[in-house]
Structure 1
Amino acid sequence: MTLTHPAYGQLRTVTPTASVLLANNPNQMTLQGTNTWILRAPGRSDCVVIDPGPKDREHSEAVARETDGNIALTLITHHHHDHTGGIDRLTKLTGTTVRAMEPEHLRGSVTPLTDGEIIEAAGLRITVLATPGHTTDSVSFVLDDAVLTGDTVLGSGTTVLESRDGALGDYLASMDRLLAVAPGRALLPAHGPDHPEAEPVLRYYIQHRQERLEQVRAALRELGPNAKPLQVVAKVYADVDKKLWPAARSSVKAQLAYLRSQQN
């Protein structure tokens, strides 16, 4: 029987080179859980792992088992714990080298990932694409037939932006970069289901972000230009579970900074 999302603890084939192992860590922020991607070129026994997942012994052991411990390289999309918590356990089990944007997550390497870098490992050619916005260190990985987007683009819903100034501008630029490489490629996100075509998902993300911006503008017209982020959240996200309001506040702060920067 062909597996479908979500399939906890079972290796599910998605493309000729990409399979996914879903961690059993579902919550409101991780959706059904964290996707650990296992990339393997046809005919190869070694592989590349994208995001070891959370600090979860069962998940780390499943990744080691499904790869036979033959991991040429592990790559990290960004620093959040549900993606990096499993690094040390997987390293202990398999001896894998780990590379990331942030030096603290490097194992067996002293070289952080760089934008535009081309990685050749396990018979694969992987291009590193810096896609900040969700976090400053967010990167996506481009394969011949797919793009792995981390938390920059999810399989369902939309991502949370950092609250820092410049986050939304960075994020919109990241969307444009991803859209440029999307044609002909599948979307393999770090949370939620995969999609056979990346381009429609990216266009939805861009449209949604513009709609949210207009909603924030409307809220400011009603509340006044100096409205606090949480006041705007109460207007724009009134239909969203209040447990998600802290995350929404982060995105609203980024949107407010973006709109106010445009006025200067």
Structure 2
Amino acid sequence: MRIDGSGTLRASCVLCPNPGPMTLEGTNTWILREPGSRGVLVVDPGPHDERHLERVARSVQEQGAQVQMVMVTHRHPDHTDGSRYFAELTGAPVHAVDPAMRIGGDGLTDGQTLSCDGLEVQVIAAPGHTDDSVCLYLEADKAILTGDTVLGHGTTVIDGDDGLAPYMETLYRLRDLVREHGVRTLLPGHGPVITAPAAVLDSYIDHREARLGQVRDAVAAGAAGVDDIVDRVYPDVDETIRFAAESSVRAQLRYLSGRGELPEGIDA
């Protein structure tokens, strides 16, 4: 178990011991609480790891608090498979965009404000990593919980062939929000806290644009499909995560095709 300071007054993290190529050090379960209040909002309970879920519940109890709300940033099992057990432990409803992820809770919509015993967070629709992804803006601490939209290190996978266009829009929107509101911290679903949010979002955007350039170049050089492009653009990719590179290339090809930047006959 790890409970980290996040650079905010209202957020703390319990790290789930599920490290891996796609989860980095593990899933970050965030505990949000207004100072002096008893009510707690838990974000992303994590996988069905009973010891982890019990530690989260116990850490809330040790603060003299109670979980009143749970929400998930997106549907992936390393964020949601523990939701039902955690709801049983705490009696708290689980809110989500995807109806299949809700347990006694409501949907989440862009711009919606969630209130929990004096704590307020604003929902930001963030499609791209998945079509149901959301971020949470904790205005009082100038912090954004990003789920898997922005990670503590590395870049995220686009889950779905049509996700790159909305993902780019999400990145630009988050960067605008950071600049306009002076956001100081990003609290990701995996990896360490980000204390230079504008610079990281710039690097995410630059990285995606550079990859698109590499895909254009690969196609111009004769690559005719996903496998060929992965070999050229991701030559050192570990075979255990090649599927992620293939998913990214399919998303890149769909994005470029939608912009009319690909010749006919390219297999996406």
TM-score normalised per structure 1: 0.92
Match of 1:57 among 28, 32, 50: 50
Taking the aligned partners of 1:95 and 1:256, their CA distance within structure 2 comes to 45
Taking the aligned partners of 2:99 and 2:66, their CA distance within structure 1 comes to 23
AA in 2 matched with 1:121: C
1:31 is matched with 24
Instruction: Give the deviation of 1:96 after TM superposition.
Output: 0.9
AA in 2 matched with 1:18: A
Instruction: Give the deviation of 1:46 after TM superposition.
Output: 1.8
Taking the aligned partners of 1:11 and 1:54, their CA distance within structure 2 comes to 17
Q: Give matches, 1:104-183, under 5 Å.
A: 104-109=100-105, 111-144=106-139, 145-165=142-162, 167-183=163-179
Instruction: Give the deviation of 1:122 after TM superposition.
Output: 2.9
Taking the aligned partners of 1:121 and 1:164, their CA distance within structure 2 comes to 36
AA in 2 matched with 1:70: Q
AA in 1 matched with 2:167: Y
Cα RMSD over matched residues? 1.2
1:4 is matched with none
Gaps of 5+ in 2: 262-268
Instruction: Give the deviation of 1:47 after TM superposition.
Output: 1.1
Provide the identity percentage.
45
1:202 is matched with 201
Maintained 8 Å contact 2:123/2:135: yes
1:238 aligns with 2:235: yes
1:67 is matched with 60
AA in 2 matched with 1:151: D
Taking the aligned partners of 2:117 and 2:135, their CA distance within structure 1 comes to 18
| Residue aligned with 2:221, SS | helix
| Residue aligned with 1:247, SS | helix
How many equivalent residue pairs? 252
| Residue aligned with 1:205, SS | helix
AA in 2 matched with 1:35: N
AA in 2 matched with 1:65: R
What CA deviation, in whole Å up to 9, does each residue of 1:70-120 have, x standing for no partner? 1121111000000001101111111011100011121222x3111111111
Taking the aligned partners of 1:248 and 1:214, their CA distance within structure 2 comes to 15
TM-score normalised per structure 2: 0.91
Match of 1:251 among 245, 248, 253: 248
Maintained 8 Å contact 2:237/2:245: no
Which range moved further: 198-207 or 179-188? 179-188
AA in 1 matched with 2:109: T
